[in-house]
Structure 1
Amino acid sequence: MSLLNYRVLEKSNYQGYILKPGAPVKVLQFGEGNFLRAFVDYWFDMANEKAGYNGKVAVVQPIAQGLTQQINQQEGLYTLYLRGSEKGQKVDRKRVISAIDACYNPYNVEDWLKVKVIACSDDLEYIASNTTEAGIAYDPQASLDQAPPASFPAKLTALLYERYKAGKKGLTILSCELIDNNGRELEKIVQKHIEDWHLETGFARWIEKENLFCSTLVDRIVPGRIRDQREVDELNQINGYEDQLLDVGEVFGVWYIEGPAELEDRLPFKRAGLNVHVVEQVAPYKKRKVRILNGAHTGFVLGAYLAGENIVRDCMEDEVIHGFMNKILYDEVIPILPLDREDCENFAAAVTDRFNNPFVDHQLLSISLNSTSKWKARDLPSLLEYQEKFGKLPQALCMGFAAYIAFFSNDLKERTADAILARRPAGDDYQIQDDDWVLDFYWEHRKDDAATLTAAALGNEKMWDQNLNAVPGLTEQVSRDLELIREQGAREAYASVL
């Protein structure tokens, strides 16, 4: 079977939108992995179709090993499947993405020179990146005379310097790395390299005044690979070509870009009617994502596992567990968020679809990994803010807290090198995995009654950065909830707050 390229695609009788080769390169992208190809490249591809953007993406491989050869063999083309649930309906959408022009390996000197030429192009408008959380980091060993400079921020500094010397206009940089204030942190490192490399002050001013470093919030789950080779072979047979870059993401996707209002009109996404938004600050939207999407996971899955469930999708079919999750979100989390309530409720409704994805068997045990730090970051702030705002404790979040303690203390059997072996009420064993000091704490307290364990857990300041026994009524409430879980089971305990 022939490898996907433009000629092969034409012979396959593909009926979807395709941007032919030769369109101007308007985006320079650092990163060629599954996420960027299912997210950033997807949005630009949709803008090409829906808004006539007519722009290609030149991709730079950020590390020495990558996908440059495969991408160029397929002339930038690849098949993207967006799979999931929308309003309760199963969705499986196929799209051949044609936004990528070519990929370059900057560790090849010839490719690095080509990237420099692209960086100075009059057509170039945007630089996008996802070089992982470790990518936005200052490297004091990076230098301008390296070909290329070692780190991503150093490469970016070198390319922007080439553009500055060529007398070109500034660019908009869209940082997608999963750190807070990703764009601002990237700009700080670029300015640090300018200082270290003793580059002219005019360049530093040009960076500050003429370029826009945007912090962004990305939200789409991208499994990337289809692990069943038989399914891959079947899809290739149906498509009429072999695709070494086949990519899979969930249907839901939203991109928040921090910037001035005029940026929304300049970007092609609004004209295309896409779920990409320019906002004054991304922080409230990150808070919404963490508290609703991530907080829902952490808030209900531990008790759901004790109740006998194994995957997230099945929890959405359970009236009690789904109802418990909704009570956390609609009654206790959304009322304290600093965003429009209807907007938050729409986001929460999408969470049900995302959790109900028929293509993903999301194991509750995999979500349980490192639940202590997750509870601290995702659910505890909602619990405390609710109590402060309304002067009472949130029932479902308190029950979720008790379910966390129950999961870590249910019929403990053995402390292994990196886990605790426990047994759930159904009789099967499970592994509790967390930081060693957390596991040591629960193992040491394995014989405690509910009241003693609750007081010890809530009083562990290393876990929560505070003594939660000081929160009025919290210790007593969580202790009662833990006792109820132990006596009647997690499902009955969840039902008691509905």
Structure 2
Amino acid sequence: MLALNKALLTGDFSFPPNLEAGPYPDNLPERVLQFGEGNFLRAFVDWMIHELNKKGLFQGRVVVVQPLAQGLVDKINKQDGLYTLILRGYQDGQMVEKREIITSISRGINPYEDWQAVLRCAEDPRIDIVISNTTEAGIIFDHGDSLTAAPPRSFPGKLTAYLYHRYKHFQGDPDKGMLILPCELIDRNGDNLKEITLRLAEEWGLPGGFRQWLKEANIFLNTLVDRVVPGYPRDEAEQLAGELGYQDDLLDTGELFHLWVIEGPTHLKEKLPFHAAGLNVIWTDDMTPYRTRKVRILNGAHTATAAVAFLSGVDTVREAVEHPRLGRFIEELIYNEVIPATDLDEGMLTEFAGEVLQRFRNPYIVHRWQSILLNTTSKYKTRVLPSLLDYVAKKKAVPAKLTFSLAATAALFKDGRVNGRQFQGKRPQGEFIIEDDPEALAFWQAAWQQYKGTAESAREVAPYILGNSELWGKDLNSVPGLAEKLGVYLQEIVTGGMAAALEKVLAEGEGA
């Protein structure tokens, strides 16, 4: 079967009528450097830039940089940056599907093989926007980072080295700063990224002039992204290839719904005129309510349910929402624990929760819990733990579902083998592989070494988990009753299995 690439798009191939396959944009310059080449950015930001280009509103393309040593850059370059995006969802009460070949990516760079290619982008005055999505674990300060490494280990390290190279190349020209929009789902992502780059610049002993330029000439914006992106549709891939008539190893799927909230001066809208293309992008001077609502309800429900559902043998979000016990778990977690813990207008939260549950039921979106479990440890800290702690503060009680979700997350890692970022575990349906930060994997393994098969030892595992203040930001053993409840749930999951343990937690009611 023919492969998707520039030759196919520009040749005489007959594309199916329900696929939008526009011209290849040979004449457009590279204007964006993007750290991250995964499914989400390609179905979200790169799609948006494609939409801008179609309307003549941006006239630029994206260079993608692979954040990790293993990734998709080889496939991206083999397909000349092209990929098929299928968006599905409700529009005006009707189910709609849109298929399109996205042409906004020019090429990909693997910095572990060619760091100089990344630095050469810093010398291009037309590339003045940075976009990133390196997961919640990506925006961190790494004590071991080095300017002389090729490349530096962390994303902030790479960005700092990139900006320093640009600073030197343009001799500190204040007009050559970058507009930087991180999409990582952490609070104040732009502020955090800026703080880390400034800290690295100081630790590396870089000139004061660069630090001043970094602070004043570059604009770091806080953002919030929202679109469910299941990614490569492996169950449908063969059928879709037959319908499309070509092979696409980067085939991507997402829901129609999209929202990008950007906190920053409204005059910057003209640099990225998403509003003029009719895209759901909100510029605001305070994104806090949007972020809290989305992270706690949508992402929080995903992360809190992922291990529970996966260890129950339910593989997709839609199956879980429609499952009699898991569906009840999700709804009670949202309505009885997350919303009461969240200090925002209850009506706004309840309305959003209803929309989220409808999106979860989208029959065209096959969103796998195994994908959601990527980097689940940092996701739990960001998306679920704040609701748990706020619930305790408000209700003076430990929330059953949120605590049970932590026990289920821990149970994922009880038995298995670690290989770098990969954990190979086992559930009743067979072996599985999930990825997480190596330090997180080592932590979970160390926690389960405390377990000796008894209820008493389960109560030792719980305080070990909660006591990792470096991971959680505080010693969670200080939360009254949390260690005891977590220990009970751990023992029930391990001895009785997830289904029986879930039945018990549902019987508890709202809280305890």
Q: Could you say whether these structures have the same fold, taking a TM-score greater than 0.5 normalized by the shorter chain as the test?
A: yes
**Cα offset for 1:42?**
1.0
Partner of 1:292, secondary structure, is helix
For residues 112 and 421 of structure 1, do their structure 2 counterparts lie closer, same or farther at Cα, with a shift above 3 Å needed?
Answer: closer
For the 8 Å contact 2:46–2:62, the answer to whether it is kept is no
Q: Which residue of structure 2 lines up, in the alignment, with residue 7 of structure 1?
A: 10
Is 2:222 the partner of 1:209? no
Q: Which residue of structure 2 lines up, in the alignment, with residue 322 of structure 1?
A: 327
1:331-356 deviation digits (Å, cap 9, x = unpaired): 43223324444443344234324433
Alignment of 1:88-487 (within 5 A): 92-103=97-108, 115-116=121-122, 119-121=124-126, 124-130=127-133, 133-134=137-138, 139-142=145-148, 151-163=158-170, 168-177=175-184, 181-188=188-195, 190-191=197-198, 196=204, 199=207, 201=209, 203-227=210-234, 231-264=236-269, 266-280=271-285, 285-297=290-302, 299-300=304-305, 311-358=316-363, 378-389=383-394, 391=395, 393=397, 397-398=399-400, 401=403, 435-441=444-450, 443-444=451-452, 446-447=454-455, 457=462, 461-462=466-467, 465-467=475-477, 470=480
Partner of 1:435, secondary structure, is helix
**Cα offset for 1:326?**
2.0
For the 8 Å contact 1:85–1:358, the answer to whether it is kept is no
**Cα offset for 1:154?**
0.7
The separation in 2 between residues aligned to 1:207 and 1:184, in whole angstroms, is 13
Q: Which runs of 5+ in 2 are unaligned?
A: 434-440
Partner of 1:184, secondary structure, is helix
Identity among equivalent pairs (%): 35
Partner of 2:277, secondary structure, is coil
The separation in 2 between residues aligned to 1:104 and 1:404, in whole angstroms, is 37
Is 2:497 the partner of 1:497? no
TM-score relative to the length of structure 2: 0.69
TM-score relative to the length of structure 1: 0.71
Q: Which residue of structure 2 lines up, in the alignment, with residue 81 of structure 1?
A: 86
**Cα offset for 1:272?**
2.7
RMSD (Å), alpha carbons:
5.2
Q: Which residue of structure 1 lines up, in the alignment, with residue 438 of structure 2?
A: none
The separation in 2 between residues aligned to 1:369 and 1:101, in whole angstroms, is 27
Partner of 1:79, secondary structure, is strand
**Cα offset for 1:209?**
2.6
For residues 294 and 200 of structure 1, do their structure 2 counterparts lie closer, same or farther at Cα, with a shift above 3 Å needed?
Answer: closer
Q: Which runs of 5+ in 1 are unaligned?
A: none
Q: Which residue of structure 1 lines up, in the alignment, with residue 437 of structure 2?
A: none
For the 8 Å contact 1:23–1:54, the answer to whether it is kept is no
Structure label with greater radius of gyration: 1
For the 8 Å contact 2:304–2:380, the answer to whether it is kept is yes
For residues 494 and 246 of structure 1, do their structure 2 counterparts lie closer, same or farther at Cα, with a shift above 3 Å needed?
Answer: same
**Cα offset for 1:381?**
3.9
The separation in 2 between residues aligned to 1:275 and 1:187, in whole angstroms, is 26
The separation in 2 between residues aligned to 1:375 and 1:54, in whole angstroms, is 37
For the 8 Å contact 2:133–2:184, the answer to whether it is kept is yes
For the 8 Å contact 1:370–1:435, the answer to whether it is kept is no
For residues 77 and 127 of structure 1, do their structure 2 counterparts lie closer, same or farther at Cα, with a shift above 3 Å needed?
Answer: same
For residues 164 and 101 of structure 1, do their structure 2 counterparts lie closer, same or farther at Cα, with a shift above 3 Å needed?
Answer: farther
For residues 243 and 301 of structure 1, do their structure 2 counterparts lie closer, same or farther at Cα, with a shift above 3 Å needed?
Answer: closer
For residues 226 and 323 of structure 1, do their structure 2 counterparts lie closer, same or farther at Cα, with a shift above 3 Å needed?
Answer: closer
**Cα offset for 1:41?**
0.7
- Count of residues in Structure 1 that have an aligned counterpart in Structure 2: 473
The separation in 2 between residues aligned to 1:430 and 1:242, in whole angstroms, is 29
